[in-house]
Amino acid sequence: GKVDLARATSDVIDAVSVLSAERQVRIVMEGPETGAPVHGDRDEIVQVVQNLIDNAIKYSPQGDVIEVVVQPEVTLEQASAPWSGGNRGGGATRLPLVTPDREPGLRYAAVTVRDRGPGMAREYLPRLTERFYRVEGQKSGERPGTGLGLAIVKHIVNRHRGGLTVESAPGKGAKFTAYFPLAAPRGAAGSRDFRMTAGRRT
């Protein structure tokens, strides 16, 4: 089906408002709040955005601001490039965690979640999407989790032939970007059939 990534994202922000208020964290969505149609399963795409925002809330100190941006149309290169306003002082490492098959001309809608929390050292970044992986030294008592969120994100993004990047450094917060193939307007030249590569639609 067709899913509006921007609307799904603003819905997630509404849905977590109790949690973010409890943690005294403010979520600010920049850019359009509707109008980024992608191919896929709405519940799964919501799960991707939800996991990224959950992490940003969980790892943000009280009183912090989390920025969320949906870019309605980017190329693969743009989707994995630093956004303007970039990595706050430099020194952050950007790493692709999921890279889609390259199809020339394919365009994506991207959602980026940026926090100002503790960030992560470069050495941890490649393993973030492993099941049960949690970064050492982050107190599990205060920030409980199973280490499955980003593994699920990777799985869903893969199924949608999308991508995922992370950009972070210790003390510089974390920025995650997930992107999905844009749904071409109905009947437009170059529009393709979308099929899930796994799961219930195969």
Out of 36, 92, 110, 174, the only residue in the binding site for ligand ATP (CB under 6 A) is: 174
What are the DSSP calls for 42-53, one per residue? Answer: HHHHHHHHHHHH
With binding defined as CB under 6 A, does residue 134 bind ligand ATP? yes
With binding defined as CB under 5 A, does residue 117 bind Mg ion? no
Closest to Mg ion by CB, 154 vs 161, is 154
Q: Tell me which residue of 155, 101, 93 sits closest to 124, measured CA to CA.
A: 93
Out of 72, 100, 149, 173, the only residue in the binding site for Mg ion (CB under 5 A) is: 149
With binding defined as CB under 6 A, does residue 138 bind ligand ATP? yes
With binding defined as CB under 5 A, does residue 47 bind Mg ion? no
Sign of the dihedral defined by the CA atoms of residues 1, 10, 128, 110, in that order: positive
Interface with ligand ATP: number of residues (CB under 6 A): 21
Closest to ligand ATP by CB, 134 vs 160, is 134
Q: What helix, strand, coil percent values describe the chain, rounded to 5?
A: 30, 25, 50
Q: Name the 3-class secondary structure at 134.
A: coil
Helix residue spans in the chain (DSSP H): 5-15, 17-22, 42-58, 76-80, 149-159
Site map (CB under 6 A) of ligand ATP, residues 101-120, x = contact: --------------x-xx-x
With binding defined as CB under 5 A, does residue 162 bind Mg ion? no
Out of 10, 20, 50, 55, the only residue in the binding site for Mg ion (CB under 5 A) is: 55
Residues contributing to the site for ligand ATP (CB under 6 A): 51, 55-56, 59, 115, 117-118, 120, 128, 133-135, 138, 145-151, 174
Residues contributing to the site for Mg ion (CB under 5 A): 55, 149
